[in-house]
């Protein structure tokens, strides 16, 4: 059976802290257990021929969390990008680099880089805030869709077809508000560190049955 696959999948890898508590660890210990799932998911998407993948690393709002947690999720994001940079990808990190919360180790990736033999467009949102993303649009004074998109800080990230969120929460948490206007949204109740391949397969089977109209 031929399945209709999304071109671009957005990943909200939530539930790391709740997973840690469930496993009798302190909250900040959960983030490092999200690294292997991130790689497994990437490899699966690569095999399936998914053209673009965006991971929600951390937001400007997340930086209000206790220092020990902030340090842990920042280190996990840096490590995740380093791991993925060893693959054949077109890698981009998007986030507010003017803030000292943005990890300096990731600055080289804030311009899209073709790594290895290139391949899937892989985006990582780090110290990302929707207000920051939309910041330049106020100067464009236009309702023209293309003009608005080109003035986004995330203009090099395309429209998201499917968003998958782990951890059971039914909210977008500021994820790419412009690119996600017509995204289909699939929730997995399991926490992100408990990622299984079947989570992705179920989400794709569900997506295959959606009527994609883009409002038309």
CA-CA distance, 99 to 102, in Å (whole number)?
Answer: 6
Please confirm, yes or no, whether 96 is among the known catalytic residues. no
Q: How far apart are CA 60 and CA 174, in angstroms?
A: 10
3-class state of residue 182 by DSSP: coil
Between CA 49 and CA 5 the distance in angstroms is 9
Structure tokens at 92: 């981009």
- Examine the residue annotation and report whether 14 is marked as an active-site residue of this protein: yes
120-128 β-sheet, strand order: 113-115, 89-94, 120-128, 52-59, 8-12, 162-166, 184-188
Distance CA 94, CA 163 (A): 17
Catalytic residue (choose from 62, 96, 123, 153): 62
Please tell me what DSSP assigns to residue 95: S
CB 119 within 8 A of CB 86: no
Q: Which residues, in sequence order, are CB contacts of 153 under 8 Å at separation 6+?
A: 94, 96, 132, 133, 135, 136
| Residues labelled as active-site residues | 14, 62
């Amino acid at each position: 059976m031929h399945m209709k696959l999304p071109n671009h999948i957005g990943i909200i890898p939530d539930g790391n802290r709740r997973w840690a508590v469930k496993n009798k660890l302190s909250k900040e210990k959960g983030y490092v257990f999200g690294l292997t799932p991130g790689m497994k998911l990437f490899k699966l998407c690569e095999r399936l021929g998914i053209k673009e993948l965006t991971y929600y690393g951390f937001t400007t709002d997340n930086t209000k969390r206790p220092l020990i947690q902030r340090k842990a999720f920042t280190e996990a994001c840096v490590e995740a990008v380093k791991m993925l940079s060893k693959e054949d990808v077109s890698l981009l990190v998007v986030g507010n680099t003017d803030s000292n919360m943005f990890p300096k180790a990731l600055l080289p990736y804030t311009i899209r880089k073709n790594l290895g033999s290139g391949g899937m467009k892989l985006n990582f949102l780090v110290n990302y805030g929707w207000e920051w993303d939309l910041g330049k649009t106020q100067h464009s004074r236009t309702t023209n869709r293309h003009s608005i998109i080109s003035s986004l800080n995330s203009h090099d990230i395309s429209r998201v077809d499917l968003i998958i969120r782990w951890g059971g929460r039914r909210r977008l948490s500021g994820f790419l508000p412009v690119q996600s206007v017509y995204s289909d949204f699939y929730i997995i109740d399991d926490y992100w560190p408990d990622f299984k391949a079947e989570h992705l397969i179920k989400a794709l089977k569900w997506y295959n049955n959606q009527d994609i109209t883009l409002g038309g």
